Amino acid sequence: MASQTLEARLETLTVSDDYDQLDAPKVPSKSKASAQTARQPLFKVALQPSSSASVTLPSQAAIQRTKSTVPASPPPARKALPSSSRPSAEIDEQQLQRNPQLVDQPTIKQWHLGMFEIGRPLGKGKFGRVYLARERSSGYICGLKVLHKNELQAGGGVEKQVRREIEIQSNLRHPNILKLYGHFHDSKRIFLILEYAAKGELYKHLRKEHRFPEWKGAQYISQMASALHYLHRKHVIHRDIKPENILVGIHGEIKISDFGWSVHAPNSRRKTMCGTLDYLPPEMVRPGSSDNYYDEKIDLWSLGVLTYEFLVGEAPFEDTPVMTQRRIARAEMTVPKFVSPEATDLIKKLLVLDPSKRLPLDQVQKHPWITKHCDSSRGSRR
C-alpha cells in the first residue's frame, strides 16, 4: 500500500525541463591533482540563505499612501464601532507588530530542475550520482541525488528500494540522520533533494587517518547509537551500517545516509539477507539463515563492527568471502592490545552471537568508554 501511494505521488509531479547538462558525457581528468586545481567549485557554501534586498509590504505601501493624502490635523475623535471603522492598512500594521508570522510566505507546490543551480559532483553510487546544488530563490545549499530510471529498471528490484528509501528517509528528523527534503522526477530521472554534508564521506576520513583516536571514535559511536535508537523507536531497521553510508557535516557531526536497504518493520521480524558481507550478523550468514527471522538487533552487531573498524582500521572478520562468513557465524575475532580495555569491552558486548544478549543502545550511551570521551548532553542527544 505504501509503495502504491508513493508511486501515485510520483506520477502526479510534473517537471518543466530536463536539464540535459547532467546527461552530457564527462571528460575524465588525467590525474586527481590536476582535476582539483583545474576545477573550482561553482559557488561558495552558504549555511543560511540570506537576502539583502529590501521589501515593502502591501500594508506599508498603503500606510504611505494614507499619510500622503490625509491632512496633518487629526479628524474629530469619535468612538470606534465594533465593525472595522479604521483603515485596513492600520489594522494590518498592528497585526504585523503583534504577530509577524501573519505575512504569507510563498509556497512551492512542485519541484523541478529549473529551480536549482547544479554544481560539482559530490559522489557516485551504483545507480546514481550526487551533485552540489543551490535552490535559486532562497540560495539554500543542498545535495541533489540523480537516479536514472533505465538503470533502476535494469537493476532488478531496485525501484522498490528507491520507493522505500524515499518513504522512510523523508519522515526522519534527527541531527545525525541525513535529511531528505523532497523529490521529483522527469521522463528519464528521479531527483532526491538531500541535506548537504560539507565534509563528505566518513569512509574517506577513515582511510586517510587509517584509524581514529579513541576520543573521536567514541563521539562517533555515541552519535550513531543516538541515531539508531531514534530509528528503532520508529520501527526502522537500517540493515546497512558501514563507513561508506555515513557522512560528516560542517561541524564534524556524523549523519547516517543511504536508506536503500532500510525497512519499516512494526513487527520487527524480517528474513531478507541484505547489506555488506563484513557487517552482516550471524543470524544472516549461518546455514539455513533464509528461514531465520531477525529484528532491529542486527544494527547492534553492525555498530560493534563499526566500533572495531574505527579503532583498528579494518573490519574484525575481514577475510575471503567464505572464511568471513565462517568467522562471523562463530564471532571469531581478536581485539588488538592497543585498543583500550573500555573500548574492547564495548566491542565484545555488541558482537555477541545471541541477539537478545547484545548491549542495548541506551546502555551503549552509558558505557564507561562513551562517557569517558563524550559530553553527556551531546552523547545522549536525540
Hey, which residues are catalytic here? 240
In terms of C-beta density within 10 A (0-12 exposed, 13-18 middle, 19 or more buried), how is residue 186 classed?
Answer: middle
State the amino acid at position 382 in one-letter form. R
Spacing of C-alpha 171 from chain mean position? 11
C-alpha cell at 70: 490625509
Q: Which of 138, 139, 119 is nearest to 129 (CA)?
A: 119
By 3-state DSSP, what share of the chain in percent is helix, strand and coil, each rounded to 5? 45, 15, 45
State the amino acid at position 75 in one-letter form. P
| Unique residue bearing C-alpha cell 573500555 | 342
99 is annotated as contributing to ligand binding: no
**Alpha carbon distances (Å) from 325 to 297, 321, 332:** 18, 6, 10
Question: Is 370 within 8 Å of 364 (Cβ atoms)?
Answer: yes
Three-state secondary structure call for residue 192: strand
The backbone torsions φ and ψ at residue 356, rounded to the nearest 5 degrees and listed phi first, read -70, -15
126 is annotated as contributing to ligand binding: yes
197 is annotated as contributing to ligand binding: yes
315 is annotated as contributing to ligand binding: no
Beta strands 180-185; 128-135: pairing state: unpaired
b/e 315-349 (16+ beta carbons within 10 angstroms → b): bbbeeeeeebbebbbebebebeeebbebbbebbeb
278 is annotated as contributing to ligand binding: no
Residues in a beta bridge with 254? 248
Beta carbons within 8 Å of 170's beta carbon, 6+ residues apart: 180, 182, 183
171 is annotated as contributing to ligand binding: no
331 is annotated as contributing to ligand binding: no
State the amino acid at position 224 in one-letter form. M
Q: Can you tell me the distance from the alpha carbon of 9 to that of 314, in angstroms, rounded to the nearest whole number? A: 42
Which residue ranges make up the annotated binding site?
A: 126, 145, 195-197, 244-245, 258
Which residue ranges make up the annotated binding site for ATP?
A: 126, 145, 195-197, 244-245, 258
